[in-house]
């Protein structure tokens, strides 16, 4: 039996993405075969397709390569010694990070340790949106040791990582400030954050005495936000390309500052899915594209203006 997958045959514009028919794979020992319902699209997929960043450098001799790290779907076959899941179980995972990828596939074999059961009350859409972005948000908030009463500034609170980071910081009882365009002010205020319109004036003209900066934008925007910080503030800067610049400047100013690379954890995904199941976390999905429309999905992420997440429907 055949299935479809999306590959990067060469680096370039979104149009290089190609659909190919392949044989449905057979799980090896310790793996399960997942029928993928939804895959999410992350900025790293888009940058890698364009030949930018470390994931592209690592995979340049490995093309054609199937991108994507976030899946939700159903277990349909267990390999030998794979015992965690029953056939038809609903699962999600942050798979193959950083080199194997493979989420943009209708069927994919995955080590069972990379998967997490999805509670009945959580949709497969929300489950696919969470792994990479949700864990980046959770790990950034943990690394910054956000605690009750901290004044936390999150740059780009409306994005895939940002909207989860805002909610986790609020759940920790921090006072949360976040930057966004005018179009997202109401959305972020509804989540409970103080939303600052960066199109009107930079954050540094509107805010001071910030204890924690979670930077999801990088570059000059992050450098400006350093002016909002109080003595002893902690900075976590997420975009890898500008992390050395932002960390150097922050440390020069006397703040503690670190970059970060998200580290997949099936256990942490379980916690995030639990938070969704009890209503502590709301996953925002801007649009679900059919698998055939993956070029448009990549173009949407390239706008830099996505609210929440973009998904691929892998079965239509």
Ligand X SMILES: NC(=O)c1ccc[n+]([C@@H]2O[C@H](COP(=O)([O-])OP(=O)(O)OC[C@H]3O[C@@H](n4cnc5c(N)ncnc54)[C@H](OP(=O)(O)O)[C@@H]3O)[C@@H](O)[C@H]2O)c1
Beta carbon of residue 196, minimum distance to ligand X (angstroms, whole number): 9
Rule CB under 6 A: say whether 164 interacts with ligand X.
no
Site string for ligand X, 211-240 (x = CB under 6 A): -----xx---x----------------xxx
Beta carbon of residue 216, minimum distance to ligand X (angstroms, whole number): 4
State the number of binding residues for ligand X (CB under 6 A). Answer: 33
83-92 b/e with 16+ CB inside 10 Å = b?
ebbeeebbbb
Residue nearest ligand X by beta-carbon distance: 159
Rule CB under 6 A: say whether 152 interacts with ligand X.
no
Beta carbon of residue 37, minimum distance to ligand X (angstroms, whole number): 21
Which of residues 66, 176, 235, 262 is near ligand X by CB under 6 A? 262
135-147 b/e with 16+ CB inside 10 Å = b?
bbbbbbbeebebe
225 CB-contact burial (10 Å; exposed 0-12 / middle 13-18 / buried 19+)? buried
Site string for ligand X, 176-215 (x = CB under 6 A): ---xxx-xx-------------x-----------------
Residues near 158 by beta carbon (within 8 Å), at least 6 away in sequence: 178, 180, 181, 184, 187, 188, 307, 308
Rule CB under 6 A: say whether 44 interacts with ligand X.
yes
Q: Evaluate whether 132 touches 108 at the Cβ level (below 8 Å).
A: no
Q: Evaluate whether 92 touches 71 at the Cβ level (below 8 Å).
A: yes
Sheet holding 194-197, edge to edge: 194-197, 175-180, 151-154, 210-215, 229-237, 256-259
By CB under 6 A, which span of 60-68, 94-102, 246-254, 299-307 interacts with ligand X?
299-307
Which spans of this chain sit near ligand X (rule: CB under 6 A)? 42-44, 132-133, 136, 155-156, 158-162, 179-181, 183-184, 198, 216-217, 221, 238-240, 260-262, 301, 304-307
């Amino acid at each position: 039996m055949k299935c479809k997958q999306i590959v990067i045959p060469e680096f370039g514009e979104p149009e290089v993405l190609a659909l190919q028919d392949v044989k449905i794979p057979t799980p090896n020992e310790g793996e399960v075969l997942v029928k993928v319902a939804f895959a999410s699209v992350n900025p790293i997929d888009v940058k890698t397709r364009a030949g930018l960043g470390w994931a592209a450098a690592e995979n340049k001799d490995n093309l054609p390569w199937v991108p994507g790290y976030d899946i939700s779907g159903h277990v349909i076959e267990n390999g030998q010694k794979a015992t965690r899941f029953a056939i038809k179980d609903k699962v999600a995972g942050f798979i193959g990070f950083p080199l194997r990828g493979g989420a943009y596939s209708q069927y994919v074999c995955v080590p069972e340790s990379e998967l997490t059961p999805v509670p009945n009350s959580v949709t497969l859409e929300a489950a696919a949106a969470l792994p990479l972005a949700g864990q980046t948000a959770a790990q950034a908030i943990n690394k910054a040791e956000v605690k009750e009463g901290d004044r936390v500034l999150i740059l780009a609170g409306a994005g895939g990582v940002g909207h989860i980071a805002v909610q986790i910081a609020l759940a920790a009882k921090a006072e949360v400030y976040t930057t966004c365009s005018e179009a997202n002010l109401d959305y972020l205020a509804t989540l409970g954050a103080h939303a600052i319109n960066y199109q009107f004036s930079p954050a540094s003209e509107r805010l001071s005495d910030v204890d924690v900066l979670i930077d999801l934008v990088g570059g000059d925007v992050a450098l400006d936000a350093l002016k909002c910080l109080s003595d002893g503030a902690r900075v976590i800067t997420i975009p890898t390309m500008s992390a050395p610049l932002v960390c150097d400047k922050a440390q020069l100013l006397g703040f503690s500052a670190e970059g970060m690379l998200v580290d997949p954890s099936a256990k942490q995904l379980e916690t995030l899915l639990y938070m969704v199941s009890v209503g502590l976390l709301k996953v925002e999905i801007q649009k679900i594209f059919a698998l055939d429309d993956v070029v448009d999905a990549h173009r949407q992420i390239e706008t830099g203006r996505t609210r929440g997440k973009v998904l691929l429907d892998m079965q239509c």
